Amino acid sequence: MIENALQFLLHTLLGLFTLALLLRFYLQLTRAPFQNPVSQAVIAVTNFVVKPVRRIIPGIAGLDASTLLLAFIAQLLLQIGSLWIRDFPLLVAGNSIWIALAGLAFVGLLKLSIYIFLYAVLLQAILSWINPYTIVTPVLDALTRPLIRPLRNRIPAAGGFDLTPLVVFIVAQLLLIMVITPMEQQLLRLF
C-alpha cells in the first residue's frame, strides 16, 4: 500500500515537472507568446532549475538544450525512483540496466511530447467551437501550428469542418501504438 502511494507521488510530481519542462521547451521552439499567462505559469514553475543550468549548458542551434536535458533527467529520476521503490537492486544490476533506464527516459519524453501536441490540438479544436478567444488560444495556436498548417494545405474542409485535428489524433495514436509502445516494451524486457 505504501509502495503504491509512493509510486503515485513520484509519478505525479516528476511527471508534472517533466511536462512543465517539455512545455517550456516546445513553447520556446514554436515561439509562443511569452506574455501570455499560460506561458508565464510554465516559466514560473521551471525557472528555479532552468536558470542555473542554462549558465552551464548553452543553447544548441537555437534549441534550449538545458531545458531538454532537465526534462530527460527528470524522466530518468522517475525511472530510477520507480525501480528503487520496488526494491530493484540498481547498484548490482549491471551496465545494461542503466542503458535501459536512459532509453526508457528517452521514450518517456517522446511519449509525453506526443501527448502534449495531441492534447493541444484537441483542446484547440474544442475551444474553437466553444470560445475561440480565450487566453489559451494564442499559445495553443503557436504550439500546434507546425503540425496543423501543413495538413490544412493538403486536407480540404468537409462541409465547413476542419478535419486536420482528427488526422493529427489518428497519426498520434498510430505513433503511440506502432512505435512508442514497442520501444517501451523492448526496454522493459531488460528488467
Q: What is the pLDDT of residues 141-158, one digit of tens each?
A: 999 998 898 888 888 877
Domain that holds residue 182: 2-188
pLDDT tens by residue, 51-94: 999 999 988 888 899 999 999 999 999 999 998 998 888 777 77
Q: Is the dihedral of CA 62, 169, 46, 74 positive or negative?
A: negative
Letter for the amino acid at 46? T
| Interatomic CA distance for residues 112 and 16, integer angstroms | 10
Percent of the chain with pLDDT over 70: 100
Percent of the chain with pLDDT over 90: 66
The 3-class SS string of the chain reads: CHHHHHHHHHHHHHHHHHHHHHHHHHHHHCCCCCCCHHHHHHHHHHHHHHHHHHHHCCCECCECHHHHHHHHHHHHHHHHHHHHHCCCCHHHCCHHHHHHHHHHHHHHHHHHHHHHHHHHHHHHHHHHHHCCCCCCHHHHHHHHHHHHHHHHHHCCCECCECCHHHHHHHHHHHHHHHHHHHHHHHHHCCC
Mean pLDDT confidence for 33-38: 90
Strand partners, 60: 63
pLDDT at 46 over 90: yes
| Interatomic CA distance for residues 71 and 106, integer angstroms | 9
Q: How many domains does the chain have?
A: 1
pLDDT tens by residue, 170-184: 999 999 999 999 999
The cell for 64 is: 534550449
pLDDT at 160 over 80: no
Query: Which one has a higher pLDDT value, 92 or 37?
Result: 37
